[in-house]
Amino acid sequence: MSQPTYRFERPAGLEIVRKPKLTAAVIVACRGGQEKLDLLMASLAAQSYPKELISVYVIDDGSESAIELPRIKPSKSKIIRYKNAPNKWGKTAATNDVVAKIKADVYWFVDADMIFDKDHLAHHMKWHHDGDDYAVLGWKRFVQEWNYTPQTAFEMIVAHKFNQMHTESWGKTLWEERVQRTQDLLHPALDGYRAFVGATFSMKSQLWKKLGGYRRDLITGEDTELGWRLFMEGVRIVPDREASSWHLGYSTVELNKEEIDRHNLPALAQYIPEMKKVRAQSIDSWKIPTYEVVIDVRSCSLSKLLEIRSNLLSLPGTQANFILLANWRCLKERYSPVGDPNADLREIYSWLKGQSSFSFKEISNGNLGIEEIITFFSDEPIPFHIYVDGNFDQIFDGKALTDYLLSSENGCVGLATKQDRRAFALFHPALARARTLGGSTYKEVANTWGVLWLTFEDFNAMSTGSKYRIKRTVNFFKREGKKINSASQLLIFVKKIVKILFRKILK
């Protein structure tokens, strides 16, 4: 029996499989663009992966002039005319509906304005032969001009002259720097999902079906949101530098950035808690919160509960759902406001029962074990799950705990006070993977991600000491400084520093 994956680790130097067995369905959703599609199909016909294992599905999503299959194409190629209707059009709907009927071991999704090196698909497939929990990204460079025909492109690719097709090209600087900084997403932190782009990616079909495909209400940016869910599932996202490709022309975002951002940012922020800057612009609640917090309030006051919430949500753009555990049935019994033994519990319920961010779960008066606590955490792609005893006898800062959890790269970090009051934070990718393995969820988190328990005093010294503050400041400047590649980016950086300083002064 093979050992389960530890964190996002993957084998180094994985080679192309010489006798592959997995079938691959190539999914191309397009609307118009016949000329570029012809070049794409020529590059697909030139792939070194066995022809009998490849099927190509071109989805014509309502083109004004119907898309046709070109002369040079893989032998098993098919056009599917997707009939548009109100609320039934666009890449997300077309892809989801068509792919639901396609049978293959692996789905490879590509844009219609791409050209691929001969071994591009083979490099994707080597990972899928290694395991079921990979999402693989190809490596692309952008080109502005091309004057070759599909026949010429096919011949050059087959002759291993892919790199000679263009002498000038460019990459996405921020994308490449993010990949480099995270060691090819081996250590993705919380913004690794941003590296997931839709031009060329693949995954096992069973993983696509488990995720439910794209979110249908996203017309564009669907790949970014899918990347978030993949990351939250604990999937290993691998950008393969050997899977080379050309992107023909500028991307839609590059040509229409202001309009695309205006359209995409609020839609994506509904589902991606890491988009804190966007969320901070609105006081509304969002579909997926930053935190899910379970609190045993059987011995808790309202003021203590509100203190926990205030400390957790100190950063603008963050949101939390709270699950309050107690014997709530006791509140239905006859009582007097004078000398009420359940006064604290009743006050909590009376103040918070109308707030949508709070829910109330019934538990008995027995002790709670960690396995039982974990069952209250949802499967939604919420990055952090937190538990805290309601009578935690120190000032509990959930944000500081999750910050430490993320920097430590453990799956769970817990605290214990001298009076043995407990709290812990759990990283969702670790939880999601552990739940797929069966048995004890807590033990599987420990086995596949790591668990660390600290005394409150030790944690407080680490998270408030001068060394910790200096380290965080240095890391902040390193991280944000790498994003500066223009005057506008520099201005954004300066504004961010001013906001932070202003917040510290007013604190």
Domain boundary among 206, 233, 253: 253
Residue 438: the pLDDT is 87
Distances 224 to 41, 108, 268 between C-alpha atoms, Å: 25, 16, 8
pLDDT at 253: 73
State the CB neighbour count (10 A cutoff) for residue 71: 11
pLDDT of residue 240 exceeding 90: yes
User: Residue 446 falls within a domain, yes or no?
Assistant: yes
Higher confidence at residue 2 or residue 321? 321
- Residue range 321-363, pLDDT digits in tens: 999 999 999 998 898 989 888 999 999 999 999 999 999 999 9
Residue 170 confidence (pLDDT) above 60? yes
Among 193, 228, 253, where does a domain finish? Answer: 253
Q: Evaluate whether residue 271 is within a structural domain.
A: no
Q: What is the pLDDT of residue 138?
A: 97
pLDDT of 504 above 60 = no
Res 2: pLDDT: 60
Flag the least confident range among 205-209, 256-260, 311-315, 467-471: 467-471
SS3 for 65-127 is CCCCCCCCCCCCEEEEECCCECCECCHHHHHHHHHCCCCCCEEEEECCCEEECCCHHHHHHHH
Tokens at residue 488, please? Answer: 């506008």
Indicate if 248 and 232 belong to the same structural domain. Answer: yes
Does residue 325 share a domain with residue 243? no
In one-letter notation, the amino acid at residue 168 is: E
316 near 309, Cβ under 8 Å? no
pLDDT at 165 over 90: yes
Q: How confident is the model at residue 507 (pLDDT cuts 50, 70, 90)?
A: low
DSSP tag of 298: T
Q: Which of 253, 272, 304 is the last residue of a domain?
A: 253
Is the per-residue pLDDT at 43 higher than 70? yes
**Quick one: residue 324, left, alpha or beta (phi over 0 = left, psi -120 to 50 = alpha)?**
beta
Tell me the mean pLDDT in the region 213-223: 94
**323 belongs to a structural domain:** yes
In a domain, 19, yes or no: no
Answer for the pair 412, 441: CB distance below 8 angstroms, yes or no: no
Same domain, yes or no, for 246 and 301?
no
pLDDT of 125 above 90: yes
Domain limits for position 479: 467-506
212 and 141, same structural domain? Answer: yes
Question: Average pLDDT of 205-212?
Answer: 97
**Which has the closest alpha carbon to 407: 418, 419, 399?**
399
DSSP 254: H
Place of tokens 């029962």: 353
The encoded tokens of residue 455 equal 């005394």
pLDDT band at 257 (very low <50, low <70, confident <90, very high): confident
What is the mean predicted confidence (pLDDT) over 142-164?
A: 95
Radius of gyration from C-alpha coordinates of the chain: 26
Domain count within the chain: 3
The residues, any chain, with a CB within 8 Å of residue 181's CB and separated by 6 or more, are: 479, 482
Q: How confident is the model at residue 466 (pLDDT cuts 50, 70, 90)?
A: low
Does 454 share its domain with 410? Answer: yes
Q: What angle do CA 298, 301, 304 make, to 5 degrees?
A: 115
Q: Do 347 and 208 belong together in one domain?
A: no
Instruction: List phi, psi (to 5°) of 75.
Output: -65, -35
176 and 96 in one domain?
A: yes
Clarify whether residues 249 and 315 are in a common domain: no
Residue 14 confidence (pLDDT)? 94
Q: Are residues 304 and 443 in the same domain?
A: yes
Strands 106-110 and 77-81: unpaired
Confidence check: pLDDT of 99 > 50: yes
| 48 and 156 assigned to the same domain | yes
Tokens of 466: 């001068």
pLDDT digit string, tens, across residues 405-428 = 999 999 999 999 998 899 999 999
- Domain shared by 452 and 490, yes or no: no
- pLDDT value at residue 251: 76
Pick the residue with more confidence: 317 or 254? 317
- Asked if residue 302 and residue 227 are part of one domain, the reply reads no
Read off the pLDDT of each residue in 284-296 and give the average, rounded to a whole number.
94
Tell the burial category of 51 from Cβ atoms under 10 Å away from its Cβ (0-12, 13-18, 19+). Answer: exposed
Q: How many CB atoms within 10 Å of residue 278?
A: 19
Query: How many percent of the chain have pLDDT more than 90?
Result: 76
pLDDT for 474 equals 61
Residue 16 lies in a domain: no
Residue with the bigger pLDDT between 103 and 335: it is 103
Q: What is the DSSP letter of 256?
A: S
Tell whether the model's pLDDT for residue 453 goes beyond 80: yes
Q: Does residue 285 lie within any of the structural domains?
A: no
Average pLDDT over residues 282-291: 89
Report whether pLDDT(1) > 50: no
The pLDDT mean for the chain works out to 91
* Amino acid in position 314: S
Residue owning tokens 């010294």: 461
Q: Which two tokens stand for residue 243?
A: 């899977």
Domain membership of residue 261 (yes or no) is no
Residue 220 lies in a domain: yes
